Amino acid sequence: MGEVIDPAGPEISIGTAATGVLAKAKQAMEARQMANAVEIQRPGEQTAVAPAAAMTPMEMLDRAVSQGASVETLSKLMDLQERWEKNQARKAFAAAMSAVKAELPRIVKTRKVDFTSAKGRTNYQYEDLAGIMDQVGPVLSRHGLSVRYRTVAEPNQPISVTCIIEHSDGHHEENTLMAGRDDSGNKNSIQQIGSTVTYLQRYTLKAALGLAAAADDDGSKADDTGTITEAEREIILSMIDETESDIEKFCAALQIESVATMPAAKFRRAVGMLEAKKKKVAANG
């Protein structure tokens, strides 16, 4: 028997060889996992399986607790969870408001005022607060929204009413208007406050929801030549102050000489202009 000669070549240790085998096995396993993650429909066409959903902050927090994370880490995750919940609530509110506006009916004015005073005859129709809520309340509730008000009536100060639209997930938005006490007619001091509060509740609700009325606005006369009421003038002036608007430019845009002489027919347009500027200012910080 002849002598066996080992051909020349690099020496490979058993450890190195084992490492190579393990590396190849790992590559083969990864290749099989990749093949399982892809469904081949036709030659040249592949559809990847959708990736797993991202973890929510609460899931991250649960995992951190189970792994014994530090108090500092847990505190940061709790802050992240709070911000995440607020953002989700804001999105839910926006979706609900969008759905509500698509279903809101046109408001019908069912109440009428007709009297004569030293200033002349006053004759107009308006929608009362109960009538508005009868129409919009069921729509709001159906989409998880509710309405409440915050009122401030300090002595010798304009009355402030804030309409708050709130979603069941917690997010809410506010709309505020101010006006002086309604001293028209023979009202006592309590009735003056009550009249202004009810008036502002109607207008803040209409502004918050973007409601349209089926007839002319409050305060318009039978011949549509009258000016806005004292309460309406206070609303406009307070909104001008709040938005830091130039009153001369404001009057020029409405083609009026002054706020006091504003025609009643232009009141809603004026409120809409100032509301738009108020939202723009708030958006710009």
Please name the amino acid found at residue 277.
Answer: K
Closest CA to 107 of 190, 17, 207: 207
Closest CA to 159 of 183, 129, 186: 183
* pLDDT for the residue numbered 39: 45
Rg (CA), the chain: 34
Helix, strand or coil, per DSSP, at residue 167: strand
Does position 66 have pLDDT exceeding 60, yes or no? yes
Please name the amino acid found at residue 18.
Answer: A
Contact predicate 234/178, CB 8 Å? yes
Please name the amino acid found at residue 2.
Answer: G
Which residues, at least 6 apart from 41, have a Cβ–Cβ distance to it below 8 Å? 47
CA–CA dist 70, 199 (Å, integer): 55
Contact predicate 263/256, CB 8 Å? yes
* pLDDT for the residue numbered 81: 78
To which residue do tokens 């506006």 refer? Answer: 101
228: DSSP letter: P
CA–CA dist 184, 222 (Å, integer): 18
Confidence category of residue 225, pLDDT binned at 50, 70, 90: very low
Confidence category of residue 51, pLDDT binned at 50, 70, 90: low
- The model's pTM is 0.53
Q: What is the pLDDT of residues 175-200, one digit of tens each?
A: 999 988 887 767 888 888 888 999 89
The residue ranking higher by pLDDT, 26 or 275, is 275
The residue ranking higher by pLDDT, 31 or 92, is 92
Which residues, at least 6 apart from 81, have a Cβ–Cβ distance to it below 8 Å? 56, 57, 58, 61
Q: Is the dihedral of CA 70, 74, 79, 80 positive or negative?
A: positive
Ranges of each domain in the chain: 103-283
Which residues, at least 6 apart from 46, have a Cβ–Cβ distance to it below 8 Å? 38, 39, 40
Q: What is the pLDDT of residues 130-139, one digit of tens each?
A: 888 888 999 9
The residue ranking higher by pLDDT, 63 or 200, is 200
Output the six-digit token pair for 228. 């806005």
Question: Can you spell out the DSSP letters for 56-115?
Answer: PHHHHHHHHHHTT--HHHHHHHHHHHHHHHHHHHHHHHHHHHHHHHHHPPPB---EEEEE
Range with lowest mean pLDDT among 109-118, 150-159, 172-181, 234-243: 109-118
Give backbone dihedrals phi and psi of 193, rounded to 5 degrees, phi first: -65, -45
